[in-house]
Amino acid sequence: MENQMNHQPQDGQFAIQASHMDIYYGNFRAVKDCSLEVLPRKITAIIGPSGCGKSTVLRAFNRMNDFIPGCRVEGGILFHGQNIYAPDVDPVQVRKLIGMVFQKPNPFPKSIYENVAWGARINGYTGNMDDLVEETLVKAALWDEVKDNLKKSALALSGGQQQRLCIARALAVKPEIILMDEPCSALDPIATLKIEDLMRELSSNYTIIIVTHNMQQAARASDYTAFFTMDPDRSGIMVEYGETSQLFTRPRDQRTEDYITGRFG
């Protein structure tokens, strides 16, 4: 499995690295023996048919699975040389460094300003909050649209704006990695393109892992792609992982080829 990873990272280290990870819901093994090395400041896409465990793997990266009763992760995820599933690791601390953007935009029912500021505040940010909010909203390409009504409720924004606000909210905590689970699936094509541009912008500073159903999106917007599928026993497995251009043009595995050419059942 490790051999599939044929690109060494430039500075000789991975941003985060899952190794031989099994994820269970109760007795059901949803993900089987997944090893995935994510390169820093790159966009890594996870694609695959519905139910193959993409979201499950993504949530494993910042221990969001902890909230699902009965969900259990075996194996490990290495982050700064530390297994984040080790008993002495604090999941809250993990999430401060690995942020998440969800499928449906989920801003807090508060003002735009509060949405951005809250995360930083609870994380002990002591600098100038107005500056941070502005800086973050600029990064999230939302500043121009909302700068005049920061006090307005975030729920009054359009879906695409809400999703960019959610990205801004994640950025304000200053994470290293941002996980995105189908961030564009609830958005129209124009809003989707905006988010893709934004991801590209952000990738110079952040590591981004994105789950997507949209193969064009993965091909367009990502540097690396991991393809997952389901075993006959319904567990998800990673079939192939490599540079996006290679995976989409010269897939090494028959199953990948079937999927990207649309021959998948």
Partner 1 sequence: MINGHETLLSSQTPEMTRRNRSASLWQAIFFGAIVIGIIMLMVLLATIVNQAFGLVIIVDKVPAAALSDRPLEELSREELTTILQNRLSKNRFKTIQRDHAIETMPLSDLVNLVIDNVVQPQVKKSYPLLQSILNRSEILELAKSDYPDARVEFRSWLNRRFLTSTMSPRPETAGVRTAIMGSALLILITIVVAFPLGVGAAIYLEEYADSRRWINRVIQTNIDNLAGVPSIIYGILGLAIFVRALEPLTSGAAFGVVGQNGRTVLSAGLTMALLILPILIINAQEAIRAVPNSLRQASYGLGATKWQTIWFHVLPVALPGILTGTILAVSRAIGETAPLIIVGASTLIMKDPDGVFSSFTALPIQIYNWTTRPQDTFRNIAAAAILVLLALLLSLNAAAILLRNRFSRQ
Partner 2 sequence: MTSIARENLFKAPSRMEFLKKRFRKLEFGIQAFLFFCGFVSILTTIGIVFELGKESLLFFQTPGVNLVEFFTTTTWQPSIGQYGVLPLVTSTLMTSTFAMLIALPLGLAAAIYLSEYADPKVRKVLKPILEILAGIPTVVYGYFALTFMTPLLRGIFGQQTVQIYNTLSAGLVMGIMILPLVASMSEDALRAVPRALREAAYGVGATKLETSIQVVLPAALSGIVAAFIIGISRAVGETMIVAVAAGAGPKFTFNPFEGAETMTGYIARISGGDLSYDTPDYNSIFAIGLLLFVITLGLNIISRTISRRFREVYE
Ligand X SMILES: Nc1ncnc2c1ncn2[C@@H]1O[C@H](COP(=O)(O)OP(=O)(O)OP(=O)(O)O)[C@@H](O)[C@H]1O
What does the binding site for partner 2 look like in residue numbers (CB under 8 A)? 79-82, 84, 87-90, 93-94, 96-97, 120, 123-125, 171, 173-176, 204-206
**CA-wise closest residue to 103 among 196, 216, 186, 222:** 186
Work out the end-to-end distance of the chain between its first and last CA atoms, rounded to an integer number of angstroms.
25
Q: Nearest approach, Cβ of 137 to partner 2 (angstroms)?
A: 14
Site string for ligand X, 50-79 (x = CB under 6 A): xxxxxxx-----------x-----------
Give the C-alpha separation, 247 to 249, whole Å.
6
- CB closer to Mg ion out of 55 and 222: 55
Identify which of residues 205 and 261 has a Cβ nearer to partner 2 in the complex: 205
Q: Which residues have C-beta within 8 Å of that of residue 155, sequence separation ≥ 6? A: 107, 109, 162
Kindly state the smallest distance separating residue 182's Cβ from partner 1, in Å. Answer: 13
CB of 70 to partner 1, least distance (A): 8
Of 112 and 120, the one with the shorter C-beta distance to partner 2 is 120
Give me the least distance between CB of 247 and partner 1, in Å please.
Answer: 28
CA distances from 37 to 143, 225, 255 (A): 34, 11, 21
Identify which of residues 16 and 237 has a Cβ nearer to partner 1 in the complex. 16
Q: Is 262 in the site for partner 1 (CB under 8 A)?
A: no
Q: Output the CA torsion 95→100→106→107 (10° steps).
A: 70
Among 42, 96, 139, 194, binds partner 1 (CB under 8 A): 96
Best CA proximity match to 17, nearest among 42, 34, 41: 34
Residues 219-238 that bind ligand X (CB under 6 A): 234, 236
CB 167 within 8 A of CB 188: no
Considering the rule CB under 8 A, would residue 27 count as an interface residue with partner 1? no
Residue 255: its H or E element: helix 254-260
Tell me: does residue 138 bind partner 1 (CB under 8 A): no
**DSSP reduced 3-state for 187:** coil
What is the rounded CA–CA span in Å between residue 229 and residue 81? 29
CB atoms within 10 A of CB 34: 25
Q: Which is nearer to ligand X, 121 or 213 (CB)?
A: 213
Using CB under 8 A as the binding rule, whether residue 106 contacts partner 1 is answered as yes
Question: Are 172 and 116 spatial neighbours (Cβ–Cβ below 8 Å)?
Answer: yes
Among 30, 34, 179, 202, binds ligand X (CB under 6 A): 30
Token code pair at residue 238: 């990673």
Looking at the Cβ atoms of 46 and 173, the one nearer to Mg ion is 46
Residue with Cβ nearer partner 1 (5 or 97) = 97
* 164 interacts with ligand X by CB under 6 A: no
- Tell me: does residue 92 bind partner 1 (CB under 8 A): yes
